[in-house]
């Protein structure tokens, strides 16, 4: 049997051993539980936190890092409707008066909720965690702008 120029015949001759595929890491239900708990607190942990989490669950840091990357990707993919196309403008979330009232009340009491608190609040008022998180970010940004404008107006008088 002749090979055409450029084909590699080392696989057949045994000169160069083939690299074995890495075995998939099996994550136990107990490890998954801990990973999901950590994910709810912070979906994008620092390298130091990844080290800590890896040690806590007994997995390699790289396995934990890839799990977080994949989980973030699955979460993003889950929030995209099947009819959406890349680049298509998304619609603004319409909130009810009750949802806004609850969000504003919470904001007056506490301006920086954790990811877990955003999720719980979202579940309570029927909004995705990400919508609640962005609402708080926007509210904090608006509060800062209004504060700067008020300070400017006070200086002018």
DSSP 74-103: HHHHHTS-TT--TTPPPPPPP--HHHHHHH
What distance in Å separates the CA atoms of residue 87 and residue 77, rounded to the nearest whole number? 14
Task: Please indicate, yes or no, whether residues 62 and 33 belong to a single structural domain of this protein.
Answer: yes
The token pair at 126 is 């029927």
Percentage, residues of the chain above pLDDT 70: 71
Q: Do 65 and 102 sit in the same domain of this protein? A: no
Residue 95 has a pLDDT of 87
Residue 21 covered by a domain: no
Residue 41 and residue 114 in contact, taking contact as beta carbons nearer than 8 Å: yes
Which residue matches tokens 């002749």? 2
Span 141-148, average pLDDT:
64
Q: Which domain holds residue 67?
A: 29-78
Same domain, 102 and 143: yes
**Residue 58 — very low, low, confident or very high, per pLDDT cuts 50/70/90?**
very high
Both 108 and 152 in one domain: the answer is yes
Q: Average pLDDT over the chain, rounded to whole? A: 80
- Amino acid 61: pLDDT: 96
Count of domains forming the chain: 2
112 and 142 assigned to the same domain: yes
Residue 72 maps to a domain: yes
**Is pLDDT at 85 greater than 50 in this prediction?**
no
Q: From CA 72, how far away is CA 65, in angstroms rounded?
A: 11
Asked if the structure places residue 10 within a domain, the reply is: no
């Amino acid at each position: 049997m002749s090979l055409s120029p450029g084909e590699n015949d080392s696989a057949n001759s045994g000169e160069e051993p083939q690299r074995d595929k890495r075995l998939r890491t099996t994550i136990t239900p107990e490890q998954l539980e801990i990973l999901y708990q950590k994910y709810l607190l912070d979906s994008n942990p620092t390298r130091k936190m990844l080290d800590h989490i890896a040690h806590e669950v007994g997995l390699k840091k790289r396995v934990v890092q890839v799990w977080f990357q994949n989980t973030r990707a699955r979460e993003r993919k889950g929030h995209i409707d099947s009819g959406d196309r890349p680049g298509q403008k998304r619609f603004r979330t319409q909130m009810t008066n009750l949802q806004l009232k609850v969000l504003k009340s919470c904001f007056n009491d506490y301006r920086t909720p954790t990811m877990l608190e955003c999720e719980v609040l979202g579940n309570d008022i029927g909004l995705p965690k990400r919508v609640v998180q962005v609402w708080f970010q926007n509210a904090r940004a608006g509060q800062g702008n209004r504060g700067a404008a008020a300070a400017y107006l006070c200086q002018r008088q």
